[in-house]
Structure 1
Amino acid sequence: MEQLKVPSVNAENIDSVSSSDEADAAGITVPVFPPERHGQMPKVAILLCTYHGQRYLAEQLDSFATQSHGNWEVWASDDGSKDNTHSILMAYKAQWPAGRLSIHFGPAEGFAANFLSLTCRAGVEADFYAYSDQDDVWEADKLSRALQWLTTVPPSVPALYCSRTRLVDAENNEIGISPLFTKTPAFANALIQNIGGGNTMVFNNAARELLREAGENKSVITHDWWAYMVVTGCGGRVFYDSKPTLRYRQHGGNLVGTNSNWAARFKRIRMLFLGRFKHWNDCNISALLTLEHRLTPENREILQRFADARGMSLIPRLIHLKRSGIYRQTLLGNIGLVAAAILGKI
């Protein structure tokens, strides 16, 4: 292993730092990259978005290097970090084989826009695509488990893999596991709930083409929820793996955290009463209407019933929502859904 030191980087000098500068510096340790052994294995493009990620980024990059599936490349999009995030990326690029890591600048419009910009970016070409946050740690079999299922789906069918996560604290100590969802993934569920964190998602080219057709300039709440809606709505397949495939770090800097504890649930209830859930649905419905021609007839009807019901008086609203077939994954979630419908907050 070679010791690398990462110099301080700010907005003024970020473009002047070269790969050789990073490779000669000390401060982080980049492991020796294992010999390439991918042969004819499918290529995975890892879509990594970063923003002020210096504290945990190296550990996440190291976990890519230990993947049992060896044919991958990283496309990193940094959203204007003023810490050492860019320096760390440059250091790994210098030490990894050519082509393993490509570094770009994001739109600086939030994490969802950054991920969508990478998803739609011309030049990113692979067989499959994996979203990645900057602060997790992937299990060594994360990609191989995803591809084990994805390769069973015909290439013409949009397919999306997601999984549970193992929750860890800031120091990577295990503190729990994400909820287990047992109901079938479907558009009627995706309309009002996202079951898969983007940090677990891997999808095929057919799914990516739908997302690219929709475009990167979409006012959606999160990129992962949007992917779940698009793939299920357009007749694709979604597989939710009950086995955790990564260590999902919970810390004070999380832009999006887990909803598995009571504090998070009460926070969501508060957001419901403040009308946040209704606003989210406004945004998602508006975005979905731009892909209406791609929705299956059944899902087009579900969307229409859901959209119409939201503007009706109480009794017709409840009837139409029931007929739409929308559902959440848990009993408590469905009770909350009914409450939202009664209060007109849906």
Structure 2
Amino acid sequence: MDRPTSSARDDTVTILLASHQGAAFIGAQLQSIADQTHGNWRLIVSDDGSKDGTRDIVAGFAASRPAGQVQLIDGPRRGATQNFLHLLSVAPDGIIAFCDQDDVWFPDKLARACRALAPHDGPVHYAARTIITDDGLTPVAESRHFPRPLGFRNALVQAIMAGNTSVFNAEAAAILRCCVGPAQDHDVQSHDWWAYQVTAGAGAVLLHDKRPALFYRQHGRSEMGRNDTVRAMSQRIAMLLAGNYGGWLAANHAALDAVRSELLPENRRILDSFGAALHQAGPVAALTLARIGLYRQTRAGTAAFYGAALMGRLRQCGPRRLMR
């Protein structure tokens, strides 16, 4: 696949916004996009069958902007993750940014991201912290700062590059587009987790901005809640011990294995060992994963992950395809 190089860059950002029943909040998000100090953007909104006026709000916003800057398309109606993957599959070449319908971006969000991406050659994945708010945008707390290194050994087992803040340079975006088909086919759990895995596996530069980039609105219909409270972290540890988590890991592994040529050689070896562990009995699986050196961002999370492996909660009982 031909990919853009650093000599062929421009700073146009294609914003990919997945919408569904978002009329209550999407207007504020669209206004925050209009208010960006980095004015060189275009917006694609993929609407997943809204019946509440979301499409009318987006159409009105499009009419207020220069012709062609805002595009409204139909989503696949298979949930938020598939909607984002659909957007990625139709995105043009160049820088891309994921966008949630109910956040509010700070005016310098895109400008800061583009400045962070600019000095680097090769693929780059940028994400940032957020300010968590209630549904009326009253600040509650800043999202967590992750102290451990970013990389493939973390990405395989934890999603920390928040999709609502993620911006990918042209090279990273091209890799994601090349890999998106298997992610759709295997129905991965989370588009941002998958994107972190792909960019980390491909050897991209991974940047996590300590400064918040947006208001992350929490309300009853939020797809994924905050993860900074004791209760939230306890819930995520409980998810590690539940059977669904192993299924998510298996789907992610299958999607990555289908595009293994995009991964660095060392990360292909890690992926193969990881896939083997998902079909091993508990103690053997835990030992295999420990040898790989997988980790989550907290000691408690890492301990829970290995505990789940030890108890056999990650094991997939179906036949394992022979690794290439």
1:67 partnered with 2:32: no
1:96 partnered with 2:61: no
Larger-gyration structure (1/2):
1
Aligned to 2:298: 330
Report sequence identity in percent. Answer: 39
Specify the SS of the correspondent of 2:15: strand
Quickly say closer, same or farther: Cα 1:140–1:126, change in 2 above 3 A: farther
* 1:160 and 1:239 in contact (8 A); partners too: yes
Hey, what's the Cα distance between the residues in 1 that align with 2:146 and 2:239?
22
Greater shift, 265-274 or 193-202, is seen at 265-274
Quickly say closer, same or farther: Cα 1:311–1:41, change in 2 above 3 A: closer
Please give the per-residue CA displacement for 1:210-249, whole angstroms capped at 9, x wherever unaligned. Answer: 2222234231111111110001111212111111101000
* 1:161 and 1:239 in contact (8 A); partners too: yes
Hey, what's the Cα distance between the residues in 2 that align with 1:333 and 1:141?
33
Greater shift, 173-182 or 317-326, is seen at 317-326
1:209 partnered with 2:177: no
1:291 partnered with 2:259: yes
* 2:102 and 2:217 in contact (8 A); partners too: yes
Aligned to 1:177: 142
TM-fit CA distance, 1:108: 0.6
Hey, what's the Cα distance between the residues in 2 that align with 1:68 and 1:274?
44
Greater shift, 334-343 or 129-138, is seen at 334-343
TM-fit CA distance, 1:321: 1.1
Aligned to 1:153: 120
Hey, what's the Cα distance between the residues in 2 that align with 1:99 and 1:193?
37
Q: Could you tell me the TM-score, scaled by structure 1's length?
A: 0.84
TM-fit CA distance, 1:41: 6.4
Decide which of 175, 182, 189 is 1:221's aligned counterpart: 189
Please give the per-residue CA displacement for 1:28-80, whole angstroms capped at 9, x wherever unaligned. Answer: xxxxxxxxxxxx96100010110000000110011111111110111111000
Aligned to 1:302: 270
* 2:85 and 2:191 in contact (8 A); partners too: yes
Hey, what's the Cα distance between the residues in 2 that align with 1:161 and 1:253?
26
Aligned to 2:6: none
Aligned to 1:16: none
* 1:305 and 1:323 in contact (8 A); partners too: no
TM-fit CA distance, 1:126: 5.0
Across the two proteins, how many residue pairs are aligned to each other?
303
Code of the aligned partner of 1:236:
A
Code of the aligned partner of 1:226:
W
Hey, what's the Cα distance between the residues in 1 that align with 2:103 and 2:281?
45
* 1:107 and 1:114 in contact (8 A); partners too: yes
Higher relative contact order, chain-length normalized (CA < 8 Å, sep 6+): 2
Aligned to 2:106: 139
Correspondences of 1:225-240 after superposition (within 5 Å)? 225-240=193-208
Hey, what's the Cα distance between the residues in 1 that align with 2:172 and 2:95?
9
Q: Could you tell me which runs of 5 or more consecutive residues in structure 2 were left unpaired when the two chains were aligned.
A: 1-8, 315-324
TM-fit CA distance, 1:175: 0.4
Hey, what's the Cα distance between the residues in 2 that align with 1:276 and 1:265?
17
Hey, what's the Cα distance between the residues in 1 that align with 2:17 and 2:307?
37
TM-fit CA distance, 1:316: 2.9
Please give the per-residue CA displacement for 1:303-325, whole angstroms capped at 9, x wherever unaligned. Answer: 11222123333443232111111
Aligned to 2:210: 242
1:86 partnered with 2:51: no
Aligned to 1:35: none
CA RMSD across the alignment: 1.5
Code of the aligned partner of 2:24:
R
1:316 partnered with 2:284: yes
Specify the SS of the correspondent of 1:167: strand
Specify the SS of the correspondent of 1:99: coil
Code of the aligned partner of 1:128:
I
Hey, what's the Cα distance between the residues in 1 that align with 2:288 and 2:275?
10
